[in-house]
Structure 1
Amino acid sequence: MLEKIKFEKFTAFESLEIPLSTGINIFIGANGTGKTHILKAIYAACEVTQSQKSLADKTNRVFLPSGKQMGRLVKRARGNLSGYFEVTRRIAERQKSLTIRLSVTNHTKEPETATLSGAYKQWLEHSLESVYIPVKDMMANAPGFRSLYNLRNIHFEEVYADIIDRVFLGFLRGPTDSRRKQLLDILQRAMDGKIISQNEEFFLKNQQGELEFTLLAEGIRKLGLLWVLIQNGTLLNGSILCWDEPEANLNPKLMRTVVEILLELQRMGVQIFLTTHDYVVLKEFDLQAQNTDKVLFHSLYRNLGEIEVASTESYLNICPNVIDDTFGSVVDREIKKYMGNLGK
């Protein structure tokens, strides 16, 4: 499991170090505070243990800077500058921690000229199953996308191609264990069906027939994606899930189900990283989490122009909490408007 991530002059960050929970990590903050960049760096560091690609190449494909010039990932400033990100993980069977660091200068153009340091060889020897769920659904766009991505130079961050690869994995052989079956049943009730695929096309199958994903609401597609990742064994003990804004296009009513699933995955040993702008997401974790659950809230904010982080295990101690503050402001405005109308 990952223990911490550190940035120095990398993308939006001047200097930032974040301790990571082995359970669920929830990143909040105003737009432009680097939440998605954190998830992408985490995912790139994990995915290379499966693909055995260069971390520099994977990072370049995941972030996709203009012209694929890696130097553009260095925090913008005048002069010759270098930046890096560093990830530390704990190898349970060896009872030790490993750290890797990817360093680039603002003149770095090709991934081959970036610098990789730390215990990279040992890092690759211990595979981490990982998945990144982007904001935009890709299951409805799956037919033909993989071959197009592999054969043509199209401007898509590699997380989109990777998630399609994950959903096309075959289902695990043998009977489904009771905990996975429980999660699949919860999702099937919420979706009113289960997911099947035919010729690279996905369908929701229920008593009414088979409905193609292009005709499904995007919120239902997200539940379907979770169902597939659990069914095919991508999300098992020791795996990593990065999910960028799970609330996007999802009816708030369904967030209760999503949070229920995420908490149970954490109990099964999945390490989870989320970004959110949604009050309902935070409150569902606050209401549903048990004392034994490991949930860490990371609030990203700017101090004198630079991004800093405050981490806490308690929802009530999140500070600053831009989501809660905004929700409270809306309530205050509603009360003022209502009281003003009463006075007329």
Structure 2
Amino acid sequence: MPALKSLVIENFVAFQQPLEWRQHASLNVIIGENDTGKTHLLKLLYSMSRAIEDYSRKQAGPEPKDLPELLAQKLRWTFLPQKMELGRLVTRGSGNRLSVDLSWNAAGRLKFAFGKDTVSRIVELQTHGLPALHGSKATFLPPKEILSIFDAIVATRETVEIAAFDDTYYDLVQDFRQPTTSGSLQANIKRALAHLEDVTGGGEVEMEKDGNIVFRRGKETFNMHQTAEGIKKIGILSRLMRNRRLTPAGGCMLFVDEPEVNLHPKAIVLFAEMLHEFAQSGIQVYLTTHSYFLLKRLEQLARENQADYSLLDLRKQEGAGVVGMVTMLAEGLPDNPIVAESLRLFDLDVQLDLAG
């Protein structure tokens, strides 16, 4: 069963009026034209999930921290707002207050709010049922791979603490650093790995003892600058499965921002099938996309398996910010700009053929 259940937000960047996103599924696709807040929504869910993960882990350590402090820090370093002020995330306009209400399982809840003058502290925060998410893990895969800029991310965050890379990159570096472990994998995870190997031709990204990252395929070894960006993205996921970061055990949430970037259409389809295997294994998946190939394949998989996969379609409304509509992919693809543009190009092809 998916862990996260619903999200209600108001006055969060582009979302001026309340967005009520109910009944989250095992796999959730967010679509919308540029500047409709897709990535903002994905990062918000990730920030809350990762903050709860960090809170649960630190409670058992020698220096526990409060959830409001961890959440504020995660929001600031994930969104990198101007002057690192939380209030910059509030929709512009006098009197506006940002409010967020996230729920999970039966009665779990994280609710917080702050105004446009807030800098670095969240005072208004309520929680219920946090133990239900104890042991859960949240992982974010940004559009750009991290392996060719690995050292730069580490240096700017660990040496000089410059806001050059947000926490989606730095957290992924930390997750990638964890060593791989032996042992059997769940059947769905094995199938996901098989899809990745189809894309890489059986090659694998490895971290050597000296920290150097290479791509090995057969007897050949390539450094990251010799490796295609799409292969590097696939390699990251492969390692996260092998080091048990991406595993259904204990609950896991995967957030993927535009997975189609730098992938061939055939690889995009295989990536969709891999995300399907994740969702079927018990990993809750959230992704944004502009790709017809990815969207269509996920719809086919939802229909074939009668899966609970959902589609959140974000659209701008004049004078009202961004609104969202949720449909289930097992019921087919609803009219949306991605499908409309594909049909427009097909119609243009027909006209050109007729003219010829």
Instruction: Say whether residues 1:214 and 2:228 are aligned partners.
Output: no
The 1:23/1:35 distance shift into structure 2, 3 A limit, reads same
TM-score, normalised on structure 1? Answer: 0.90
Q: Aligned equivalents of 1:301 and 1:320: distance in 2? A: 12
The answer for the alignment partner of 1:60 in structure 2 is 76
**Displacement, 1:151?**
2.2
Specify the SS of the correspondent of 1:119.
strand
Question: For residue 229 of structure 1, what is the aligned residue in structure 2?
Answer: 240
- 1:104 is matched with which residue: 114, 117, 139? 114
Per the TM alignment, residue 308 of structure 1 is displaced from its structure 2 partner at its CA by: 1.2
Deviations, residues 107-141 of structure 1 (Å, cap 9, x unaligned): 112x22x2342216836972320100111111222
Paired residue for 1:50? Answer: 53
- The C-alpha deviation readout for 1:204-233, integer Å capped at 9, x for no partner, is 212241112221111111211121111111
Alpha carbons of 1:123 and 1:107: their partners in 2 closer, same or farther (altered >3 Å)? farther
- Could you say which residue in structure 1 is the equivalent of 2:147? 139
Work out which of the residue numbers 65, 69, 73 in structure 1 matches 2:85.
69
Alpha-carbon shift at residue 286 of structure 1 (Å) = 2.1
CA distance in 2, matches of 1:302, 1:177: 41
Q: CA deviation at 1:195?
A: 2.2
Which residue matches 2:65? none
Q: Using the TM superposition, name which of 275-284 and 117-126 deviates more.
A: 117-126
Aligned partner of 2:138 in structure 1 is: 130
Matched, 1:172 2:178: no
Query: Any idea what SS the aligned residue of 2:44 has?
Result: helix
1:223-302 → structure 2 map (5 Å cutoff)? 223-237=234-248, 238-289=251-302, 290-302=304-316
In 2, Cα distance between the equivalents of 1:236 and 1:203?
24
Correspondences of 1:151-190 after superposition (within 5 Å): 151-152=159-160, 153-190=162-199
Deviations 1:123-170 (A, max 9, x none): 697232010011111122213532431221232211110111111111
Report what 1:312 is aligned to. 327
Residue 163 to residue 326, structure 1, CA distance change in 2 (3 Å)? same
| Counterpart Cα distance in 2 of 1:102 and 1:156 | 26
Give the superposition deviation at 1:177.
Answer: 4.5
Instruction: Compare 40-49 and 201-210 and name the one that shifted more.
Output: 201-210
Aligned CA-pair RMSD: 2.0
| Superposition deviation, residue 82 in structure 1 | 1.2
What runs of 5+ residues in structure 2 fail to find an aligned partner?
A: 56-68
State how far apart, in whole Å, the 2-side matches of 1:144 and 1:60 are. 20
Distance in 1 of aligned mates of 2:46 and 2:277:
21
Change in 2 beyond 3 A, CA 1:33/1:256 = same
Q: What letter matches 2:148 in structure 1?
A: A
Identity value in percent = 25
Farther off after superposition, 284-293 or 243-252: 284-293
Structure 1 stretch 286-295 or stretch 247-256: which is displaced more?
286-295
Which of 318, 331, 340 is the equivalent residue of 2:346? 331
Alignment of 1:113-128 (within 5 A): 114-119=122-127, 122=130, 126-128=134-136
Could you tell me how far apart the structure 2 residues matched to 1:123 and 1:11 are? 30
Q: Tell me, yes or no, if the aligned pair for 1:255 and 1:284 is still in contact at 8 Å.
A: no
Partner of 2:99: 84
8 Å Cα contact 1:102-1:116 kept in structure 2:
yes
SS in 1 for 2:36: coil
Partner Cα distance (1:51, 1:124) in 2: 14
Give the Cα–Cα distance (whole angstroms) in 2 for the partners of residues 120 and 66 of structure 1.
Answer: 31
CA–CA distance in structure 2, aligned partners of residues 173 and 38 of structure 1: 35
**Number of the residue aligned with 2:12:** 10
Task: Check conservation: 1:246, 1:276, Cα contact below 8 A.
Answer: yes
Q: Which residue of 2 aligns with 1:93?
A: none
Aligned partners of 1:321, 1:272: CA distance in 2, in Å?
21
Secondary structure of the structure 1 residue equivalent to 2:8: strand
- Whether contact under 8 Å (2:308, 2:329) holds in the other structure is no
Are the aligned partners of 1:129 and 1:239 in contact in 2 as well (CA < 8 Å)?
A: yes
Distance 1:239 1:118 in 2: 23
What are the ranges of 5 or more consecutive residues in structure 1 without an aligned counterpart? 91-95
C-alpha spacing 1:156/1:123, structure 2 compared with 1 (3 Å): farther
Q: In 2, distance between residues paired with 1:228 and 1:16?
A: 35
